[in-house]
């Protein structure tokens, strides 16, 4: 079974039949999941920031969310993320498939390992198999999707300073956001395949001619939401229902 985690601007997948909310209890708290029928079988949808987008990035219960998806049998996760661009040529409205990340978070618990040592290989942080289905779907739909991108994750909830944006770009970052870590890390610890489509909503501070605002982010996401839904829906059609996990768990 596949799961979709919707970020800012994607609170309702719009392509699940008979969707019903389930409350899943985990060792880390409760998580809310919409269960419905996708193009080729059951699909779980989770709104990362809650049903009313009321949970800020630094307070998202990432461990409960990923544990819940694992407990209901999710073998792969297709995630979305609203991001700021660190490159002038990556304009608002661009779609980007993540393949690397740089972690600048400070206070988040990024592991399930509380009573044992787990070492996880992150040479390939994102699942290339799931990513390949997203690329195929984008080509069929005529959606321009950059096939590689490095995501810089900051703590939030504030936006970054121009000095930080300049540093992130010099370090090799392409986009900046506040949610992909520890989500991608926790999925790998449990062996769940994970891929992320990032939607550029704005230029980073110092690149943009005007100050950043959440209204700008929401507006760009709203204008691209239907393209994103079509991309996810076709990807769900392309992934064979019998495909399992290919990303291994960490070694204890």
Structurally, how many domains does the chain consist of?
1
Q: Which band of pLDDT confidence, cut at 50, 70 and 90, is reported for residue 117? A: confident
Residue 251 falls inside a structural domain:
no
What domain range is 175 assigned to?
Answer: 2-238
The pTM (predicted TM-score) of the whole model is 0.93
Residue 14 falls inside a structural domain:
yes
Cβ partners under 8 Å of residue 158, min gap 6:
none
Query: What is the domain-level CATH number for residue 148?
Result: 3.40.50.1580
177-216 pLDDT, tens digit each: 999 999 999 999 999 999 999 999 999 999 977 777 777 7
139-181 pLDDT, tens digit each: 999 999 999 999 999 999 999 999 999 999 999 999 999 999 9
- pLDDT at residue 238 greater than cutoff 80: yes
C-alpha–C-alpha distance, residues 162 and 154, integer Å: 14
Q: What is the mean pLDDT of the chain?
A: 92
Residue 35 falls inside a structural domain:
yes
Cβ partners under 8 Å of residue 169, min gap 6:
86, 87, 204
């Amino acid at each position: 079974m596949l799961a979709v985690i919707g970020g800012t601007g994607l609170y309702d997948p719009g392509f699940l039949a008979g969707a019903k909310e389930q409350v899943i209890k985990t060792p880390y708290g409760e998580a809310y999941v919409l269960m419905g029928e996708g193009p080729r079988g059951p699909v779980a949808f989770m709104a990362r920031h809650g049903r009313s987008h009321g949970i800020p990035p630094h307070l998202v219960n990432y461990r409960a969310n990923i544990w819940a998806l694992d407990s209901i049998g999710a073998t792969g996760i297709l995630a979305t993320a609203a991001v700021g661009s660190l490159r002038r040529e990556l304009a608002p409205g661009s779609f980007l498939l993540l393949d690397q990340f740089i972690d600048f978070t400070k206070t988040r618990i990024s592991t399930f390992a509380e009573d044992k040592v787990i070492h996880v290989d992150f040479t390939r942080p994102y699942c290339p198999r799931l990513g390949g289905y997203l690329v195929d779907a984008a080509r069929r739909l005529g959606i321009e999707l950059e096939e590689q991108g490095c995501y810089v994750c900051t703590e939030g909830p504030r936006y970054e300073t121009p000095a930080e944006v300049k540093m992130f770009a010099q370090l090799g970052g392409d986009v900046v956001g506040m949610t992909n870590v520890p989500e991608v890390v926790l999925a790998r610890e449990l062996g769940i395949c994970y891929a992320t489509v990032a939607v550029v909503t704005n230029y980073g501070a110092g690149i943009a001619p005007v100050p950043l605002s959440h209204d700008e982010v929401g507006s760009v996401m709203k204008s691209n939401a239907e393209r994103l839904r079509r991309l996810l829906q076709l990807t769900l059609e392309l992934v064979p229902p019998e495909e399992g996990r290919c990303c291994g768990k960490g070694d204890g």
